[in-house]
Amino acid sequence: MLRYQTAGESHGPQLTAIVSGFPAGVPVAPEDINRDLARRQKGYGRGGRMNIEKDRVQFLSGIRFGLSIGSPITLVIPNLDFQNWQDVMSPLPASEDISRRVTRPRPGHADLPGALKYGHKDARNILERSSARETAARVAVGALCKTLLKQFNIDVFSHVIRIADVQAKPDSLSFDEIKQAASVSDLSCADVNASQRMKKKIDEAKAKGDTVGGVAEIIAMGVPVGLGGVMNWEERLDGILAGAIMSIPSVKGVEIGIGFTAAGIFGSLVHDEIFYAPTKPKALNGHGPSGGFYRKTNNAGGIEGGISNGEPVVIHAAFKPIPTMMTPKRSVDLVTKEPFDASKERSDVCAVPAAAVVAEAMTAFILAQAFIAKFGGDSMGEMKKNYDSYIQYLKRY
């Protein structure tokens, strides 16, 4: 079973991820990870912290001479801001400056429920871990998983399709064109006109001391039919993906395929008809192996009955506006119980482009996990043999 654990506080010395169950023999280079770490740091609307951090991974175990060796892989990302927080984040006893405690919980953050749950009167003990800084470690894990998926021609990427009420409409573009256009956009948005309006919206929010959310689309190309399962609830790929995406800070909604739209239209407009061609039409390049069965529509988002069906997996993630704002919101002090107006100086106005990269990483992790479950995960050689024989079986089916 592929799994990972992250550790590290937002202003502590480093973020750490330990990934176990990753097969031996997968080529992995620091650049594979650093590329996505850099993508997560970018994005119009990011705040001052990103001028301090330069996220780069260090491999501390599990990789030798550019190949995974099957042992747990330790990924470390140093927090450069730690040097400014050494006193506040000291692990040593009896060195705390009590005046620096955070007793004013921000509405929309984990501050209050976390402080009550864990018995803290200093909300820093919660916010340090609930901070979206932790997602840098998840992106490192997702990028690692992509190196495995790449061996089987599976490509996972994301783009921003909405900021506040500005909707992108890249409908006329192919997936490759979307990927290319999004990669050169500082909003990770493939629709140039919409990007201009999105930036205006972010500027407007910034001027008012406010924040904005949005929606990202995550697409996985090349996923073969048969990942996930229909026999037990916890095996269903859509359920697992939705849970993983929902675990990202600020996500408040997840949709697979046309999701919420399907709830409002006739079934005849929803279900993707089935076609067959022993050799798939060229236009379907990028679809995963599915034994010659294919669809002309993909409203299901590549998953039927909890199992991948060979079409691209398409997910939408809705991100709420960041709760750390300069506009005051009413709150109550944890210690004095006095009301006050919550506000904070340094934050991001919009983190949707960054959050899209995180959702992409979570998708890559879940797909790699499902892939290993189906094809075995001790070594690359064994997985390739199992995968190839499955492809042969699909061809003969």
Instruction: Give contact residues for ligand EPS (rule: CB under 6 A).
Output: 10, 47, 49, 53, 131-133, 136, 324, 346-348
In the bound state with ligand EPS, the residue whose beta carbon lies nearer, of 155 and 348, is 348
User: What is the nearest approach in angstroms of ligand EPS to the Cβ of residue 130?
Assistant: 7
Closer residue to ligand EPS, CB minimum distance, 49 or 104: 49
CA 361 – CA 220 distance, rounded (Å): 11
Cα–Cα nearest to 278, from 265, 289, 269 = 289
Q: Which is nearer to ligand EPS, 88 or 173 (CB)?
A: 88
- Minimum CB–partner distance for residue 202 and ligand EPS (Å): 15
Q: Could you give the count of Cα atoms lying within 13 Å of 101 in the half-sphere of its Cβ? A: 14
The two structure tokens encoding residue 252 = 């408040």
Cα separation, 223 vs 256, whole angstroms: 15
Given the structure tokens 């990924």, which residue do they identify?
75
Residue 25 in tokens: 């023999």
C-beta neighbour count of 159 within 10 angstroms: 26
Q: How far is the CB of 52 from ligand EPS (least distance, A)?
A: 8
- C-beta of 347: minimal distance to ligand EPS in Å? 5
Q: Is 330 exposed, middle or buried (0-12, 13-18, 19+ CB in 10 A)?
A: exposed
| Closer residue to ligand EPS (CB): 348 or 360 | 348
Nearest residue to ligand EPS, by Cβ distance, number only: 49
Residue whose CB is less far from ligand EPS, 138 or 236: 138
Question: By C-beta, is 45 or 224 nearer to ligand EPS?
Answer: 45
Residues 6+ apart with CB under 8 A from 175: 219, 221, 286, 312
Q: Return the number of the residue (50 or 394) whose C-beta is nearest ligand EPS.
A: 50
Smallest distance from ligand EPS to CB 102, Å: 11
User: Please, what is the minimum distance in Å from the beta carbon of residue 43 to ligand EPS?
Assistant: 10
378: enclosing H helix or E strand = none
DSSP label of 15 = E
Distance in Å, CB of 127 to ligand EPS, minimum: 6
**Exposed (0-12), middle (13-18) or buried (19+): which is 83, by Cβ within 10 Å?**
exposed
